[in-house]
Structure 1
C-alpha cells in the first residue's frame, strides 16, 4: 500500500466570474453537496469555501487520482446539480480553467485559515484582486475565456 501526502489548493470560478451563488444559505447548500458528493467518489476534501463567484478547497490526492479528473468530477457534477435543482435563475456553469498549487504539510495551518476565512478576506479584497494576486504570486499566465 502506498503512503501519500499530496495536498493541492484549488480555486475555480463561475463562468465569466459571474456572482451567481448569492447568499450564505445557498453557498452552504452547494458546499455541503460538493463535500458529500466528493466523499462518495473517494475525493478527500480537507477544507472547502464557496463564495458567490468562486470556490477554494484543499484536497488530499489518493494514489489513483489525477488533478484533472478530480476537478472534472467536482465541477461537472456540482454544476449539473445546481442546474437540476434550479438554485440560480440562469444556467449555471463553472469556468473551464482552475488554479491548483501544491501545498507542503508545514503550510497546512496557513492554507486552512486562508480557505476558512474567505468571508473575512473578501471584505477587504475583491475576488478579482485575489485572483490576480494568486496568478502573479505563483507565476501563472492569466487566461481569458
Structure 2
C-alpha cells in the first residue's frame, strides 16, 4: 500500500489567443469532454469545467508526480491540436501563453465548482479581463499589467 496521500486541487484559468471568441457552442461541449480525457490521461481529476467563448476555467485535481505548469501545458497543447485537427474552425485555434492557477481547499471546492459552472452569469456583469485581474488581486498575486494580456499586433 502506498504511503503518500494528496488532495491537490487547482482552479485554473486561461484564455484563447488574444482573447478571441473561438470557443463557440458547437465546439464547447466536445472540447470540455476532450479536456476531461486529457486530464484523466495525466492521472488527474477534472472536477468542473466552464467558460466563455474567450476563456476556460477548470477545477482540477493534479497528482503530485506532475508539476502544475507541466500539466497545464499538456492540457493546452493537446486540446489546441485536437481543435485544429477537427478542421471546422475558422483560422488557427490557439491558447494564450501562460495561465493562472490557484489552490483550492476541500472546504472551498463546491464554492469554486459553482463559480466555474456559472460563468455565463458572471460575465453578464464583468469582462474576462476584469474577472482575471480580480482573481489575481483576491489571491494576492502581484503582476505588471503590461504582461497580463497579450495584445495582437496589426501591421
TM-score w.r.t. length of structure 2:
0.86
Note the alpha carbon deviations across 1:31-63, whole angstroms, 9 max, x for none: 111112321332211111142011101111212
Q: Aligned with 1:96: secondary structure? A: coil
Give the drift of 1:119: 1.5
User: Which residue of structure 1 lines up, in the alignment, with residue 10 of structure 2?
Assistant: 8
Q: Hey, what's the Cα distance between the residues in 1 that align with 2:133 and 2:41?
A: 33
Q: Hey, what's the Cα distance between the residues in 1 that align with 2:42 and 2:138?
A: 32
TM-score w.r.t. length of structure 1:
0.91
Q: Hey, what's the Cα distance between the residues in 1 that align with 2:135 and 2:16?
A: 17
5+ long unaligned stretches in structure 2: 151-155
Give the drift of 1:133: 1.1
5+ long unaligned stretches in structure 1: none
Aligned residues: CA RMSD: 1.4
Greater strand percent: which structure? 1
Q: Could you list the runs of 4 or more consecutive aligned residues of structure 1 that deviate by over 4 angstroms after TM superposition?
A: none
Give the number of aligned pairs: 144
Larger radius of gyration: 2
